[in-house]
Structures are given as C-alpha cells and as structure tokens.
Structure 1
Amino acid sequence: MAEYYNVTTNLGDAEIANAIATNTKLNITHVAFGDGNGSVPTPNKARTSLVREVHRQAVTKYERHATNANWIVIETIIPSGVGGFTIREMGIIANGKLISYGSHAPFEKVADPSGVSEYRLRFTQNVTDGSVVEIMLDESLIYASQEWVKENFIKRSEIVDNLITDDPAKPISARQAKILNEKMLEGLFENDSPIDRTNQRHPNITYTNPSDKRYMLIYLDIELTQSNQTPGIIFIDESEVFTFWGGANLNSTLVIPPKGTIKIQVNEHQVEFFSILSWREM
C-alpha cells in the first residue's frame, strides 16, 4: 500500500450511495487539513473528523476525471498569509461531513504575506466502493519551499539595468550584459585612460559619445545641496536611468553606448546649488 493514501469514510460511502440513488451531485465544499497531533495518522473509514484540524480551505474546483468516471479531481489553494502549522492529514468535506480521510506527507505551511508560501493542492479521489487509493498529486504543479525561493528567486526590482551600483549581489540585466559583452569584444572603451572633463561638463546640456563603435565609461560625482520637490534626473539616450534629490552626493559609473547621449537635468531654480565634483570619461 502507498505510504500516503486516503479512504472514503463510512459517512462518505453513505453520501456517495445517496448521490447515486438520487442522481445528484456531491456538494464538495472544503478540504480540511490537520497536523495529526504530531504524527502522520493511518487513514480509518470510521473517522468523522480529523485527528486535529488546523485549517479548512474552500475548494477551488472539483470535477469528474476526463477519462475515468469513477474519479473526481479536486483543487484547492491555501493562501500565503495562512500558515504556521504542519500538514500531516487531510479530508474532503461534502454536505458538511467528512466523506474522505487521508494521510499526507509532512509539509510545513508557513504564513508569509509576501506571496512565496502559497500551497496548491490538486489530487484525484476514487469514489468507487469506498476503495483505498493513493493520493495522486498532479505532477504538472511545481512546489518550492520558502527557503528555496529566498535562496534562488530574484525579484525583478533587484535586477540592475543602469550600472550605477557596486553591490556585488545585484544581478545585471540582459541589456547591460550585452553592452559589456560587446564592449569586451571591441576590446576598449572610447578612451584608453580616464580623461578629466569636470570643468567642461554642465547640467541641462546633452553630451554625445563621439564613437560609433566603442562605449564610453563615465565616472561621475555630483552634488545637489538644496533639497527640493523637483529631483535631478540623469538621462542616457533620452531614457531616465537615475533620479537624485538634494542633500547628498551621488557617485555613479555610467556606460554610454556608441553615439549615445547623456544629460543631467536640473530644475533651473536648483542650478546654483548644483555642482559636478568629478566627471571622468574612459
């Protein structure tokens, strides 16, 4: 016999027989989950309730199996915010009664509102003569533990697309990786060594990389001393790549593509409070 399985209960057998006799549909409403009071229980047809129920979830859908008329497919989802318990047993609730009871491989369900601990269950129940059947989980669904997700999942907001951070843990976007790869294939930036342009560059003026083959690397250190409701904005090829506010220095390293442009936009009332401390072009 399978290690984890379920049985239709005596109550379930009666409900199924009544549904067949009256040609009605079982009113399956919930899947109950329990912790078995600390251990995985052995399914028993005489059960009328779980050993210790910890959560009851409304079914998302249930329907007859596509190829076997004696099977029903049941689906439910425990939301991310629900948890703090271990699932070791489960039961199907129909017409307010426990019609099926089964053991469940121990699964720690944590409560996490961030959305990484949602638990989806889709399984097939045999309703023929109260047969003992294995709980058949749908293998097309993929489950990941919260710890695995934390270790391996990268949030889209964490992907760097402007190369202005020196955080070694930040992943680079495909676009910027392509830029760096092409730069390496070219072999050089526009200049072989940094050229000091500090006194030659000003806000609200668009500057262009003169090369049609090589990238320009800009080491930028700017200061905006006045706090204001209007931020300063750095544009590369007319696309906003960074916003900065008054009251702090900004140190950035920017890559400008061949024939690309860069502009530091500052509100006209802030210009007197703005200064370029360092601008070096590689």
Structure 2
Amino acid sequence: MNTKFIAILTNQGAAKLANATALGTQLEITQMAVGDGGGTLPTPNPEQTALVAEKRRALLNSLSVDANNSAQIIAEQIIPENEGGWWIREIGLFDNEDTLVAIANCPETYKPQLQEGSGRTQTIRMALIVSSSDAVTLKIDPAVVLATRAYVDDEIQKHAKTRNHPDASLADKGFVQLSNATDSTDDTLAATPKAIKTVNDDVAKRLLRTDMPVGIPLPWPTDTPPAGWLKCNGATFNKTKYPLLAQAYPTLQLPDLRGEFIRGWDDGRGVDAARPMLSTQPATALRTGAMDYYGNDDSGDNRAAGLGFASEDSLLMGQPQNAKMPSGGLLPVEGYLNDNAMISLTDTKWIAEGSRWITVRPRNIAFNYIVRAA
C-alpha cells in the first residue's frame, strides 16, 4: 500500500487564516517544528495542537508563494549539522502566538549528529495549500536563520537581473552607463575604451598639428613618406580628404621640391624683390667664355672683355664696398676701377664653337621633401 504524505491546516490554523482574510490582516507564521511521530509515521489530524513527538523547533528560513500555484505556500527551514540524533517523520508550522497552524507528515529520514560521523545540514520544506496566500506572512529574526544554497543562488540571480541598483557617483560606488561620447560633461557616465582611444588619437593629432602644422614641408630620409604626409612632387590633392592642407595650398597643388633649394620669401626686404609666395626661380647662369663689353665676339680689336650672365638676383653698378683683389687685399677706390673694363694688348681670336653657360650651386645633400597633409 502506498503511503500518503499530506500537509493540512489545523482547525486552529484554519480559523486564524479565515479571520485574517476577513479582517484584511495577516497570519504571521514564524516557526517550524519537526518530530519523530513517536517512532511511527503519523497521519496529520486537524484536531492536533502539537506534534506527536516534537524534537526540534526553530525559526523559519523562508516562506514564499509557489511560483506555479498562487494558492500554495512553501515553508522552509534549515537544520544545521550540529543538531540531530533523531528521525524526522512529522512537521508543524507555528504562528507568532505559538499556535500550531499546519501539520504534515514526511518520508522518514534520520538526522545524524556530527559525533556520529555523518553530520549534515538538512533542509525541511512544507508545501501547504491555503485559501488565500495573501493572508499569510513570514515573521522571523534574520539574525538567527540559515540560508540554503538554492536560496542564495536564487537571490543572487534575482539581484543580477534587477536594475534596481544605486547609480555610481563621485563619492559612492554603483552602476554606471557606458558612453562613447568624447565631448560630454556628464560625470555619471563611464567612458568606454573606444572613447578613450578616440580622445588619445585626437590629442595626439592636435599636439602634432600645433608643433608641426599641416602644410609644412620637411626633408625626409627615405623615398616613402610616413602616414599623414605626402611627397612635395607637384601633385594635386583632394580638398575633401585634406581640408587643412587646402588652407595652406588653395590651388590644391603641392609645390614640386624635387631637386630644388628652398629660399626665404623676400617679404619686402628687397634682396629678392617682386616674387610672390611659392613662385619658382631659375638658377643664375654664367657664360664660360669671355665676350667683349658690348656682347660681341669680334676678333682682331682691342676691346674690354668679361663674363656674360643671366637670371641674376641683383646687379650692382660700380665698385662694391669691401671689394678685394685676388690676393685678398682691399681693392683701391679708384675711378678707373669702376668702369668694368679689362684691357689686354694681346689680340683676341674668335673660336667657332657655341656659347656655353653654367649655373652655380652650393654643396648639398639630397633629401626627399614631404609635406604634412593631415
């Protein structure tokens, strides 16, 4: 024959629950007791006011409404490992006035003590159907109850899912909302690594633009410019892609500095006058052969001769200040020295060869001129 395990309200419990429901108050269930039934499995009797053979009574750990049945409550108690030495066959629930309000039988189980060599923590649960679960409440002292692992896991899971946590502030820890904003003044948002990287990159660019503005040309030792730089090779560029570069070079064309020397802009000084910014200038040319003063190559006459020139920076008439002789001494200030003439009694001869001109350059080293573009 199958054994039936049941949980019922006692007559006193049913009366108290009905009264609480009628008055809109609550029945406070506070304690659970276990007993051994006097050595045999008892059958719950609503007339009972006590367990058959009570072994232990203590505060409940929890009292909750069954998630699958709103008319059923579940009472739970934990018996620690240091208590026991008896069988558990009956369970009772008591209210705050020590009245037995519910009673149940359960499968027989022995609760050992530690000194018996097999002590354990044991959880006892009673599921009880009531007419109104709203009229039942748990009244306990949380300082003297234990929590089951399942209860703790459930509470942690609930806590993890809930959004009812305090927000962090400058003074207290708490929840924060992540933000990718890089220009916000909100002190309740937390910056993401993406936002921090964006700021770092922007700061690096700003510092570089301050120390080395977009558009500045620099000599570079390899044939490939670094990222953000372009060769100064006369190429055109896209204004949309390089807006700051377009401010420096409105024609949208880079200067061609291949094989060129950079010269300081005259800016009204008069040394290299009448030249606009970024204008080019050819080299000064010197003729390798002497010609007469009037530019003829006639032979057979005594004429003043000298070197022809082209593309000069300036032309100084007369003797310059501090002019020196080939020996290094100062050239005397004499009128005949200002006529740009050289007389030789040796007859000059015409040679049938084309004229040759040379340009003069300083000592130099080749670098690749590049320009900061972004």
Structure number with higher strand proportion: 1
Alignment TM-score, normalising by the size of structure 2: 0.33
Computing the radius of gyration from Cα coordinates, the structure with the larger value is 2
Q: Whose relative contact order is higher, 1 or 2, with alpha carbons under 8 Å and at least 6 apart?
A: 1
Alignment TM-score, normalising by the size of structure 1: 0.43
